[in-house]
């Protein structure tokens, strides 16, 4: 098995920002001899290691599982949240996707609802607060019926699973010119509202999660589908249509009392 | 049914007296212990529950499930996690599934069978009563998760689907494609979110526990650092629950998330909690091999792949460099099928990992450095069609291609064992309480139920069992002895620990040496992997025990942590965690050194029969519970001798 051992020389333009209220700027770093089988975050590790050894200030960025599932890593790479490849997170992006001599622009996920903490790390707790507004089934531990007591058609279960694959990273917000969180909200509403277990609270869920989203300062959806294009889990923008329908029905029901 | 040779060697030696606290399980028949325990456990009345504050550290399956459930019951809960959201805890990365004794396949499964297989899978080094309880509550977990809207895989009739997993001969594993951990964690996270919204749980994300506070010998709070502002503060409560996961990152390279660390449990250990069986570490057989020195973590390929993939290496060394497709069928060694005909590719993890190492040691490994074996799906694709394989493992194949640039539908995967899970952890009794009253430990953080080796799909089961069903029933046994709200953050004990934490943080920042925390971590990891990894020897361990203190000394004199303490500073967080790994690593090696036998994930090369582990029940059928003495190189060993009521020791054979 021939394993290519090539390395890249890159110019990095990295966003540096000391805190939420500080002014930010791009800082240039030359990253030489980066192995092409390293991941993008391993490339940043190598850069940081050099900065530390030279007595400088390393770049702060969020990451954790480094296998594309926790949703902690972010980064806008050359203008694209999670970089140039479809259906992957930044931590799964590998340097073989770049060429030696490339200049790479690295920025945080930008949105009013995601304030910068430092450099490339942002605060995404707004997503947690949206889930707290209704992204759950109100079932108390211990009160559940026998699991097979309620059959769920396979196509519904599969569709709910596909929507539930969202990792809550916020790339959809970072890609949207309106910084809308509709893809995130619609995925959760679709997951739960499709299942019989989620039906009793379906209307209330759609209404209160959308209201929470608005209150957090996320923008409106204007059907550009940038969110779908950058989603590392390829969540479909069709869910937004479904959410709009659920929201309209819930609003009417709400007005009608 | 089992191929065990029933070589009974029941221990009757009355001289073996345990010197750990009593395990607290009720006497009487095994199968009714848990019911009897619940019936006689103390209760806190609903009106009084809100007077108690419970501190939950960690928001993975165990932590989120416990925090949500205790809040539902009316307690005040404070929950802490180091990630930016509780939804990101590393339980999320578990792929394959969760076991439950539902017997939906009518294939002979039962609570007893799950119990027995877990004890046997753990190589007879787990506590019988705890494991039986785990098997009993397993079915309730599935009910609970389904009710929460966890989208498990289903059959065409609309009922839940199952698959089999290593170490078992029944189909009892529930799954959601290769994202079971994610879906279960989101279920628990949503339950937690519901309780945050109801006001029962106050959530502190990006907040790291840096020490445990004891008052009159009882765990009454924690000192934490706000990772955004750097502020160090105390939180007082009536009980502390550590749900902080395992210590696999002591090896640097593991399948754990980068942030996973031993700090919470290690700090508790240094405050008096016994650390049990640290040498029981699980090396997972199916991970993507290392590709270079810059490597920051290893990626697991779910064990469920072994349902349809066949492990092989070339029979001849000279074939190892050839493209796999060019190696004829008769020139391939399907070593697991050859060595373990009755379990084949579904041999348990420890056995499959060692078998892979054996082939590579024999010079028949494939890929860079000869550190890999093939996991081949060609036969299954031929039999079931590519679509069926895609449906079962699509996301895993995709992940594999992202990392390696290779298409596993067209050529076999290359895999190699990697550190994945740690069976050891803080010692707990039947109530999940450590030897420090009030300090409870759940999930992977405790030494618990897996003995010397954990079976696949049992970690999710244990984390959720502890969080949803065990601790809500057992915690009142402690709380009922305590006057609620008796301590406050203003007390001298809190101020003292806070000052110590501040001092340690300042020290890390002031060394101003030349090396990064990461470089020390890598060096420690390589040493531990080399001397205390898949095979251990007295000589190697002794060498590691000599080198670790020296490395620790260099750390404290040559570390460089840029930035300050009052800012978001990932390097400072890392330095604190590496400092603790540098201490913990020594205990790990000490434990491996004293256990002069091979069992489960602990393989001492001196104790084997032609590659098969040689257990020594006479000498070593105990839990090794270590006490911190103030001298890192001289921990004190306490022994809890395992007494089996129903199970008889037998040689664990999967042949």
Q: How far apart, in whole angstroms, are the C-alpha atoms of residue B381 and residue B377?
A: 6
Confidence of residue B6 (pLDDT cuts 50, 70, 90): very low
Residue A160 lies in a domain: yes
Q: How far apart are the first and last CA of chain B?
A: 13
Question: How much is the pLDDT for B8?
Answer: 39
Please indicate, yes or no, whether residues A34 and A84 belong to a single structural domain of this protein.
yes
Q: Out of B113, B349, B595, B604, pick the active-site residue.
A: B349
Which candidate, A121, A206, A92, places its Cα nearest to that of B205? A121
Measured between CA atoms, how close is B639 to chain A, in angstroms? 36
Torsion sign over Cα B507, B509, B515, B518: positive
Q: Exposed, middle or buried: residue A50 (CB in 10 Å: 0-12, 13-18, 19+)?
A: middle
**Between β-strands B622-627 and B98-99, what pairing exists: parallel, antiparallel or unpaired?**
unpaired
| Chain B residue whose CA is closest to A145 | B143
Angle (CA) A174-A177-A179 rounded to 5° is: 50
Q: How far is CA B381 from the centre of its chain?
A: 33
Residue predicted with more confidence, B346 or B462: B462
CA dist., res. B205 & res. B84, Å (int): 5
Mutate to test the interface with B, among A63, A136, A189 (most CBs of B within 10 A): A136
With pLDDT > 90 as the criterion, what percentage of chain B qualifies?
A: 89
Same domain, A100 and A154: no
Q: Is the pLDDT of residue B11 over 50?
A: no
Q: What span, in angstroms and rounded, lies between the C-alpha atoms of B200 and B46?
A: 13
Shortest distance between the Cα of A91 and any Cα of chain B, in A, equals 10
Residue B394 C-alpha, separation from nearest chain A C-alpha, in angstroms: 13
Mean per-residue pLDDT of chain A:
96
Nearest-CB residue to B568 (from A70, A117, A143): A117
By C-alpha distance, which of A92, A100, A20, A98 is closest to A60?
A20
Angle between helices B180-197 and A154-164 (to 10 degrees): 70
State the Cα–Cα distance between residues B436 and B217, nearest whole angstrom: 7
Task: Give B-chain residues touching A22 at CB under 8 angstroms.
Answer: none
Which chain A residues have a beta carbon less than 8 Å from that of B227?
none
Residue A65 within any structural domain of the chain = yes
A127 vs B contacts (CB less than 8 Å):
85
| Contact (Cβ atoms closer than 8 angstroms) between residue B148 and residue A197 | yes
Within 8 A by CB and 6+ apart from B147, the residues are A137, A139, A143, A144, A145, A147, A197
Q: What is the DSSP string of B16-58?
A: ----SPP-----S-GGGHHHHHHHHS----HHHHTT-EEEEE-
Percent of chain A predicted with pLDDT > 90: 95
Averaged confidence pLDDT in chain B: 94
On whether the CB atoms of residues A188 and A151 are closer than 8 A, the answer is no
Of B420, B415, B326, B341, the residue nearest B376 (C-alpha): B415
Cβ distance B450 to B285 under 8 Å?
no
- pLDDT of B10 higher than 50: no
Q: What is the pLDDT of residue B491?
A: 97
- Tell me the C-alpha distance between A92 and A63, whole Å: 11
**Alpha-helix runs per DSSP H in B425-515:** 459-464, 471-479, 492-510
Using DSSP bridges, classify how beta strands A103-107 and A7-16 pair: parallel, antiparallel or unpaired: parallel
Q: How confident is the model at residue A2 (pLDDT cuts 50, 70, 90)?
A: very low
- Whether residues B414 and A56 touch (CB distance < 8 A) is answered with no
- As a whole number of angstroms, the distance between CA B382 and CA B376 comes to 12
Mutation to test the A interface, candidates B79, B149, B286, most A Cβ within 10 Å: B149
Residues A100 and A212 in one domain: no
Across the interface, of A58, A87, A131, the residue whose CB is closest to B193 is A131
Alpha-carbon gap, residue B591 to B620, rounded angstroms: 12
- For residue B16, is pLDDT > 90? no
Contacts of A42 in chain B (CB under 8 A): 294-296
**How many structural domains comprise chain A?**
2
Q: Looking at chain B, which residue has its C-alpha nearest residue A70?
A: B88
Of A42, A64, A145, Cβ closest to residue B257: A64
State both tokens at B396. 């895993």
Whether residues A113 and A132 fall in one domain:
no
The answer to whether residues B463 and B65 touch, using CB atoms and an 8 Å cutoff, is yes
What pLDDT is stored for residue B14 in this prediction? Answer: 57
For residue B13, name the pLDDT band (cuts at 50, 70, 90): low
* Range of the structural domain that residue A41 is part of: 7-118
Q: In what order do the strands lie in the sheet with B373-376?
A: B281-287, B413-422, B373-376, B310-314, B332-333
Residue B374 has pLDDT above 70, yes or no: yes
Closest CA to B131 of B122, B144, B141, B140: B122
Per the CB < 8 A criterion, the answer to whether B359 and B349 are in contact is no
Q: Which of A36, A51, A65 to mutate to test the interface with B (most CBs of B within 10 A)?
A: A65
- Using a CB-CB cut-off of 8 Å, the residues of chain A touching B295 are 42
Contact at CB, B571 and A58, closer than 8 angstroms: yes
Whether A2 is covered by a domain: the verdict is no
Instruction: Count CB neighbours of B592 within 10 A.
Output: 28
Report the gap between the CA of B537 and the closest CA in chain A (Å): 32
How many residues make up chain A in this entry? 257
Q: For chain B, list the domains and their CATH numbers.
A: 284-420 (3.90.700.10)
**Residue A66 and residue A17 share a domain:** yes
Domain membership of residue A1 (yes or no) is no
Q: How far apart are CA B140 and CA B173, in angstroms?
A: 14
* B228 touches B43 (CB < 8 A): no
Query: Is A20 within the bounds of a domain?
Result: yes
Size of interface A-B (CB pairs under 8 A): 234
CATH of the domain at A250: 1.10.1060.10
Q: Would A202 be classed as within a structural domain? A: yes
Greatest distance between any 2 Cα atoms in chain B: 74
Which of B197, B403, B568 is nearest residue A60 as measured by Cβ atoms? B568
Residue B15 has phi, psi (to 5 degrees) of: -75, -15
List, as one string, the DSSP characters of B373-392: EEEE-HHHHHHH-HHHHHHH
Question: Cα–Cα distance between A208 and B344 in angstroms, integer?
Answer: 52
Is residue B448 within 8 A of residue B462, CB to CB? The reply is: yes
- Give A-chain residues touching B93 at CB under 8 angstroms: 65, 67, 69-70
Question: Does the distance separating the beta carbons of A53 and B151 come in below 8 Å?
Answer: no
Shared domain check, A193 and A78: no
Are residue A45 and residue A114 in the same domain, yes or no? yes
Question: Is residue A145 domain-resident?
Answer: no
CATH number of the domain to which A108 belongs? 3.10.20.30
Determine phi and psi for B78, rounding to 5 degrees: -115, 125
Greater model confidence, B166 or B78: B78
Q: Do A214 and A105 share a structural domain?
A: no
Q: In B, which residues are within 8 Å of A45 by CB distance? A: 294, 296, 518
CB contact under 8 A, A38 and B294: yes
SS3 category, B189: helix
- Most confident range (mean pLDDT) of B301-305, B368-372, B602-606 is B602-606
- Sign, Cα dihedral of A75, A78, A79, A85: negative
Least confident range from A213-217, A252-256, B105-109, B362-366: namely: A252-256
Q: At which residue do the structure tokens 């209760």 appear?
A: B43
Same domain, A110 and A128: no
Whether B439 and B433 have beta carbons less than 8 Å apart is answered as yes
Supply the pLDDT for residue B460. 97
Domain shared by A110 and A208, yes or no: no
The yes-or-no verdict on residue B312 having pLDDT over 70 is yes
Contact call for residues A34 and A91 (beta carbons, < 8 A): no
A102 lies in the same domain as A158: no
- In angstroms, the CA A160 to CA A154 distance is 10
pLDDT value of position B5: 41
Q: Do A52 and B568 touch (CB under 8 A)?
A: no
pLDDT of residue A175: 98
A143 in a domain, yes or no? no
The partner residue sitting opposite A195, judged by closest CB among B151, B194, B514, is: B151
- pLDDT more than 70, % of chain A: 98
pLDDT reported for residue B603 = 95
3-class state of residue B603 by DSSP: coil
DSSP assignment letter at B588: H
Mean pLDDT of B70-78: 98
Nearest to B245 by CA among B436, B35, B442, B383: B442
CA distance B186 to B170: 27
- Continuous segment of H or E residues that includes residue B235: strand B232-236
Asked if residue B43 lies in contact with residue B170, where contact means CB atoms within 8 angstroms, the answer is no
Alpha-carbon B122 to chain mean position: 13
Whether residue A180 sits in one domain with residue A114: no
Known catalytic membership, residue B306: no
pLDDT exceeding 70 applies to what percent of chain B?
A: 98
Nearest-by-Cβ selection for A151 from B89, B159, B367:
B159
B650 pLDDT exceeds 70? yes
List the single range of B85-94, B269-278, B288-297 with lowest mean pLDDT. B288-297
DSSP structure class, residue B241: E
The pLDDT tens digits for B279-293 are 999 999 999 999 888
How do beta strands B53-57 and B76-80 pair? Answer: parallel
CA distance B498 to A73: 31
């Amino acid at each position: 098995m021939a394993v290519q051992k090539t390395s890249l020389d890159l110019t990095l333009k990295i966003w540096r920002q000391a805190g939420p209220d500080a002014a930010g700027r791009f800082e240039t770093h030359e990253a030489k001899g980066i192995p092409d089988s390293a991941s993008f975050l391993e490339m940043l590790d190598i850069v940081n290691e050099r900065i530390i050894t030279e007595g400088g200030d390393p770049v702060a960025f969020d990451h954790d599982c480094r296998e594309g599932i926790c949703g902690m890593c972010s980064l806008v790479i050359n203008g694209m949240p999670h970089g140039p490849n479809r259906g992957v997170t930044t931590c799964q992006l590998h340097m073989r996707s770049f060429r030696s001599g490339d200049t790479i622009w690295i920025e945080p996920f930008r949105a009013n609802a995601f304030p910068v903490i430092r450099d490339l790390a942002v605060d995404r707790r707004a997503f947690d607060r949206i889930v707290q507004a209704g992204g759950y089934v109100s079932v108390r531990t211990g009160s559940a019926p026998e699991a097979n007591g309620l059959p769920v058609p396979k196509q519904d279960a599969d569709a709910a699973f596909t929507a539930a694959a969202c990792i809550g990273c916020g790339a959809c917000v970072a890609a949207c010119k309106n910084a809308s969180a509709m893809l995130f909200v619609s995925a959760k509403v679709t997951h739960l509202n499709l299942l019989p277990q989620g039906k009793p609270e379906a209307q209330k869920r759609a209404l209160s999660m959308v209201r929470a989203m608005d209150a957090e300062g996320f923008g409106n959806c204007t059907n550009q589908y940038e969110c779908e294009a950058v989603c590392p889990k390829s969540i479909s923008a069709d869910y937004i249509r479904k959410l709009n329908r659920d929201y309209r029905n819930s609003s009417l029901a709400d007005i009608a009392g | 049914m089992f191929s065990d040779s029933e070589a009974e060697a029941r221990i009757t030696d009355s001289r073996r007296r345990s010197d750990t606290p009593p395990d607290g399980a009720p006497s009487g028949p095994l199968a009714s212990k848990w019911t009897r325990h619940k019936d006689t456990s103390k209760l806190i009345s609903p009106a009084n529950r809100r007077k108690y504050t419970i501190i939950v550290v960690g928001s993975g399956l165990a932590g989120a499930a416990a925090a949500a459930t205790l809040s539902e019951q009316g307690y005040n809960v404070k929950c802490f996690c180091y990630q930016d959201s509780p939804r990101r805890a590393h339980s999320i990365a578990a792929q394959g599934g969760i076991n439950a004794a539902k017997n939906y396949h009518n294939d002979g499964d039962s609570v007893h069978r799950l119990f027995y297989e877990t004890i046997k899978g753990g190589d007879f080094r787990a506590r019988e009563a705890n494991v039986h309880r785990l098997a009993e509550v397993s079915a309730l977990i599935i009910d609970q998760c389904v009710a929460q809207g966890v989208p498990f895989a289903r059959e065409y009739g609309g009922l839940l689907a199952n698959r089999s997993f290593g170490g078992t001969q029944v189909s009892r594993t529930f799954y959601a494609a290769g994202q079971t951990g994610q879906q279960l964690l989101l279920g628990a996270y949503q339950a937690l979110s519901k309780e945050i919204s109801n006001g029962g749980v106050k959530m502190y994300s990006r907040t790291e526990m840096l020490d445990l506070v004891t008052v009159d010998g009882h765990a009454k709070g924690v000192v934490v650092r706000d990772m955004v502002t750097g502020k160090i503060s105390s939180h007082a409560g009536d009980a502390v629950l550590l749900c902080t996961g395992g210590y696999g990152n002591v090896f640097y390279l593991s399948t754990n998330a980068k942030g996973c660390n031993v700090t919470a449990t290690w700090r508790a250990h240094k405050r008096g909690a016994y650390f049990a069986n640290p040498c029981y570490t699980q090396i997972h057989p199916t991970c993507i091999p290392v590709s270079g020195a810059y490597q920051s973590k290893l990626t697991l390929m779910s064990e469920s792949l072994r349902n349809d993939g066949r492990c092989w290496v070339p029979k001849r060394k000279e074939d190892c460099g050839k493209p796999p497709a060019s190696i004829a069928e008769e020139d391939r060694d399907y070593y697991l099928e050859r060595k373990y005909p009755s379990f084949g590719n579904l041999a348990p993890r420890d056995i499959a990992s060692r078998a892979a190492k054996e082939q590579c040691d024999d010079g028949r490994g494939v890929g860079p450095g000869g550190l890999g074996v093939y996991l081949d799906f060609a036969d299954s694709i031929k039999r079931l069609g590519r679509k069926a394989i895609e449906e079962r493992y699509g996301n895993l194949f995709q992940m594999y291609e992202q990392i390696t640039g290779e298409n596993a539908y067209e050529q076999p995967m290359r895999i190699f064992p990697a550190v994945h899970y740690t069976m050891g952890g803080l010692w707990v009794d039947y109530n999940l309480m450590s030897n420090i009253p009030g300090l409870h430990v759940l999930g992977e953080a405790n030494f618990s139920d897996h003995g010397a080796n954990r079976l696949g799909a049992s970690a999710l089961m244990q984390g959720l069992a502890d969080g949803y069903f065990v601790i809500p029933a057992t915690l009142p046994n402690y709380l009922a002895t305590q006057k609620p709200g008796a301590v406050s953050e203003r007390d001298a004990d809190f101020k003292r620990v806070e000052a110590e934490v501040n001092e340690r943080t300042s020290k890390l920042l002031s060394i101003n040496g030349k090396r990064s925390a990461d470089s020390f971590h890598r060096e420690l990891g390589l040493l531990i992997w080399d001397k205390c990894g898949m095979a251990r020897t007295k000589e190697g361990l002794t060498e590691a025990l000599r080198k670790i203190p020296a490395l620790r000394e260099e750390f404290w004199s040559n570390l460089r942590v840029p930035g300050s303490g009052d800012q978001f500073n990932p390097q400072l967080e890392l330095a604190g965690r590496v400092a603790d790994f540098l201490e913990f690593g020594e205990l790990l090696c000490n434990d491996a050194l004293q256990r002069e036998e091979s069992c489960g994930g602990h393989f001492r090369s001196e104790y084997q029969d032609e590659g098969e582990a040689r257990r020594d029940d006479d000498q070593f059928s105990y839990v090794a519970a270590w006490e911190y003495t103030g001298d890192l190189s001289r921990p004190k060993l306490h022994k809890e001798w395992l007494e089996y009521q129903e199970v008889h020791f037998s040689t664990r054979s999967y042949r």
